Structure 1
Amino acid sequence: MNNPASSASRVLSIDVFRGIIIFTMVFVNELAGVADVPQWMKHLPADVDGMTFVDLVFPAFLFIVGMSIPFAIQARTNKGDSALDIFKHIALRSLGLLVIGVFMVNAESGYDTAAMGISMPLWTLLMFIYVLLIWSNYPKTLSPALVLGAKLMGVAGLVMLWWMYKGPGDTGMTTQWWGILGLIGWAYLMAGTLFLITRQFAAPATQFFMLALASLALIALFFVLDAAKANLMGVPVLGALAEFNGNNTHGAIVLAGVILSQLFYLPNFAANKFKHYLIFTAVVALLAFASWQVSPISKIWATPSWALFSVFFCCLIFGAVYWVVDVKQQRAWTVFFEPSATNPLLVYILPYIVLSLCGILGFYLRPAFFNAGLAGILWSLGFACVMMGIGALLTRMGLRVKL
C-alpha cells in the first residue's frame, strides 16, 4: 500500500538536523585526541551509568537515517521501483556501509605494518580512494563503460588491500565491532526492511502502530538476550543473536526516527502533528525513565535506557530545528550545514583522508599547543568548520558520495 511521506525531494529541517549531527560528529572525533577537557565532552566509560552529548551523536545519526527512510522509499516508488527492487537497494546500501565500516575499523587497530609491506596511512588513503571510485556519483555525461570500469577498479583495489592486510600472527582483517558505519548499516537493514514490509501490507495508521510495536519488540529482545547471554554462547543462531544484541536497540532508534518522520510529514497525521509529536516525545520519556530502573544507561553496551533517552533528546532537538526552520522560517543560518546535509558520507570521511595524507607526509596536523584544554576544544571546532568548508568546495566541484 502506498504511504507517501511528502512530494518534496528534500526536507530542509531534516537536512539541517543531519548537517548538525555530521558537524558534531567531526568535532567530537577530533576532540577525542585532546587531553584535559571536561568529562561531558567525552564518551562515558561503558560501565558508567549515564551519557554525555558525545554519547548522543551516534544514535542521533541512526535517528536521522530513520527520518529519511520514508522519503527515500517513496522517491524510489515514484520512479516505478517494485518492493523487491527497493529491498535490493536497501540491502546493497547496508552492504556498502558494512564494507566501509570494517575497512575503517581495521585501519584503526589490529594491523602489523611490518608484515604488510605498506604503511597504514598509505593503506588507509588507498582504501578511501577505492571507496570514492565505487560509491561516488558520476556525471550522467560520462560513458557507462567508463563508470563501470572505475567502480570495478575500486572493487579490485579493496580486494587487494584486504589481501595485503596483516594482523598479529599473520591474521587478516576481522569484523571487530563493525565500525560506526557498519553498525549504521545493520540498523538500516533491519529498520528499512521492517518499514518496507509494513508499508506494503498496512494502512498508514496501522503501519504507525506496527512500527512502534516493532521498536518495543527490539528493545524487549535486548533484555531477553542479555539475560540469557551466558547460556546462549556456543548455541547455533541464538549465540550469534546474543552477540548481535546491541544492534537491536540501534534498529529501534532508526525505527523511532521513521515514526517521527511519519508524524510530521505523513498527510494522515499532518493536521495534528504537534499534538502527536508531544505525545510521542512524552511516551518515549516515560519509557526511558522506566527502562532506566532496570537497565543502566550505556552507549557502549547499547542499552535500552540509552536508546530511549537518545530518542527523547533527538525528538527535542528535531522539534527545535523544525520550529526555527519551518515555523519561524529562519533559514539563512542553515547554509553552513548544507554540505554535511546533502553529502554526509563525504564530510564524515574527509578527516580520515586528511589525516592519512598527513601520516604519509610525516606531518602531525594538530600543533602541540592545541593538544589539551580550551585550545584543543577551539582547534576541534575550527577543524570541523574547515572540513565543512572542504566538503562544500568538493560538493560544488561535483564530488558526491552516495551509497
Structure 2
Amino acid sequence: MSTLASGRILSIDLFRGLTILVMVFVNELAGISDIPGWMKHVAADADTMTFVDLVFPAFLFIVGMSIPFAVQARLNKGDNAWGVFRHGLVRAFGLIVIGFYMVNSIGGYDESAMPISIHLWTFCMYLSVLLVWCSLPKGWSHSQQWLVRAVGIAGLIALWWLFQGPQNSGMTPQWWGILGLIGWAYLFALIAYLLVGQRPLLLSLIALGFIALFALFQPFEGQSGLLGWFAQENRNHTHTAMVLAGTLMSLLCFHADYPKRQMNLGIYIVVSAALAYISCQLWPISKIWATPSWALLSVFFCSLLFALFYQLIEVKRHTAMVKAFEPAANNPLLIYILPYIIAAGLGSLGLTLRPEFLSSGIPGMLWSLLFALAMMVLVTLLNRIGIRLKL
C-alpha cells in the first residue's frame, strides 16, 4: 500500500537540479585561480566550511530523500524487499565502479608506462561507461542490448589491463571518488531503510549510530589491521548518516501518516541545528576528514534549503522554476560526468576547452557559470536523441 506521495516531487527535483548545477559550476571553478577563498574547498584542518563544501553533502541528502520513493515504486511494481535490495546493490556497485575508474584517471598512473595517453584512456573509459549504463532504445532486442553492455564491460576490462601505476602497480582504490562514496553511503542507507521501514525515530537513531561509529573508530586512524581499515573508511559512516537524514526528511514531509509537515520541518531544523552545535564542540569542521560536525552542519543547511524549496513549490505552488532545472534533475549522473568526457576527448587531441585568459579572476568565474549552464543545454539535447545515463 502506498504511503508516500506518488509521481515526481517537484521540490526534490528543484533541490536536485540546483545542486547538480552548482556541482558542475564548482568543479569547473576548481581550475580557476585568483578567486575568493569562500569559492574554494577549505583545507582539511581549517575548522570551517564554504558553500563549496556543502555541495557534496547536499547531493547525499537528496540521494536519501529519493530512497523512500524509489523503494515504494519498486514494491508497487511487485518487487519484494530482496528484489529491492538486489536492484539497489546493482546501482551502488555501478557507482562504486565508475568512481573507482574516475579516481585512477585523475591520479596514481604512470603515463610513460602506458601504451596510450591518459587522456585517451580516460575518454575510452567514459565511452565504456556509457555503453554499460546508458539507456538503450526500447525497440532493441534483449540480445542487442546485452551486446552493447558486453562491449562496454570488455572495454573496462581492457582499460584495467592497460593501466599502469607507479612501479608496475595496477589500478588502486586510492579513495572511492565522489560517485563511489555516494554508492557506499546509498547502499548502507538502503539496507537500514529496508530493515526498519518508514519509522522516523528508528531511522534517526540509526543515523546517530553511524555518527557514533565515526567516533568509535577515529582513535584507530593510521593503525594496521581490521580496526585501522574501518578507521580508514570512517568517512562512509558520516556520509551514510547524511543520506539517512535525507530519508528522514522525505518521510516527515511526504508520508501520509505525518500531516503536520511544516511543523515537522521546523522541528527538524531546530533539532539538526542543536546537534550541529554540539558536534562542533567535539570535532573540527572538515569535509576532507568527513567529521560529524561537518556532516551535521551540512544536514542543518540542507534542511533550511529544502524548507525554502518546500514552501515555494509544495505550499505556494510556484512550480514554473522547476522546468529550468529539469535536465539536471532528471540526469544527474550524465551531467556530472559530461565535463570529464569533454576534457578527456579534447585532451586526447592535445587540446583544452578553457582558454588561458579565462582561467583566473572574474573572467574565470563567469566562464565556470556559463560552462555549467552549457552542460544543462547539452544534456537536454542528448536526452532528445535518447542518450541518458541512469543506474
1:69 is matched by which residue type in structure 2?
A: I
Q: How does 1:170-249 map to 2 (within 5 A)?
A: 170-199=168-197, 204=198, 207-229=199-221, 233-236=223-226, 238-249=227-238
Q: Which runs of 5+ in 1 are unaligned?
A: none
Q: Distance in 2 between matches of 1:196 and 1:53?
A: 32
Give a deviation string over 1:47-93, Cα, whole Å, max 9, x none: 10000000000000000000000000000001101111111111111
1:348 aligns with 2:346: no
Q: Which runs of 5+ in 2 are unaligned?
A: none
Q: How does 1:30-69 map to 2 (within 5 A)?
A: 30-69=28-67
Q: Distance in 2 between matches of 1:97 and 1:144?
A: 23
1:370 aligns with 2:358: yes
Q: Distance in 2 between matches of 1:239 and 1:55?
A: 26
Corresponding residue to 1:253 among 242, 258, 278: 242
1:129: how far off?
Answer: 0.8
1:3: how far off?
Answer: 6.5
Cα RMSD for the two superposed structures: 1.1
Q: Distance in 1 between matches of 2:366 and 2:265?
A: 36
**8 A Cα contact 2:34 2:361, kept in partner:** yes
Give a deviation string over 1:218-276, Cα, whole Å, max 9, x none: 1011112113435xx2233x22211111110000000000000101100011x200111
Secondary structure of the residue aligned to 1:103 is: helix
**8 A Cα contact 2:135 2:390, kept in partner:** yes
Q: Distance in 2 between matches of 1:45 and 1:263?
A: 35
**8 A Cα contact 1:13 1:326, kept in partner:** yes
1:149 aligns with 2:147: yes
Secondary structure of the residue aligned to 1:402 is: coil
Number of positions where the alignment pairs a residue of Structure 1 with one of Structure 2? 391
1:188: how far off?
Answer: 0.3
**8 A Cα contact 2:192 2:203, kept in partner:** yes
Query: TM-score, normalising length from structure 1?
Result: 0.95
**8 A Cα contact 1:12 1:325, kept in partner:** yes
Give a deviation string over 1:181-216, Cα, whole Å, max 9, x none: 0000010010011001112xxxx4xx1111000011
Q: Distance in 2 between matches of 1:331 and 1:359?
A: 40
Q: Distance in 2 between matches of 1:7 and 1:339?
A: 21
**8 A Cα contact 1:225 1:242, kept in partner:** yes
1:118 is matched by which residue type in structure 2?
A: I
**8 A Cα contact 1:4 1:70, kept in partner:** no
2:298 maps to what in 1? 310
Secondary structure of the residue aligned to 1:293 is: helix
Q: Distance in 1 between matches of 2:369 and 2:313?
A: 23
Q: Distance in 2 between matches of 1:367 and 1:243?
A: 39
1:130 aligns with 2:128: yes
1:302: how far off?
Answer: 0.2
1:320 maps to what in 2? 308
Q: Distance in 1 between matches of 2:185 and 2:281?
A: 25
1:14 maps to what in 2? 12
1:4 aligns with 2:13: no
1:94 maps to what in 2? 92
Q: Distance in 2 between matches of 1:363 and 1:136?
A: 27
1:7: how far off?
Answer: 2.1
**Higher mean displacement: 328-337 or 138-147:** 328-337
Give a deviation string over 1:88-109, Cα, whole Å, max 9, x none: 1111111100000010010001
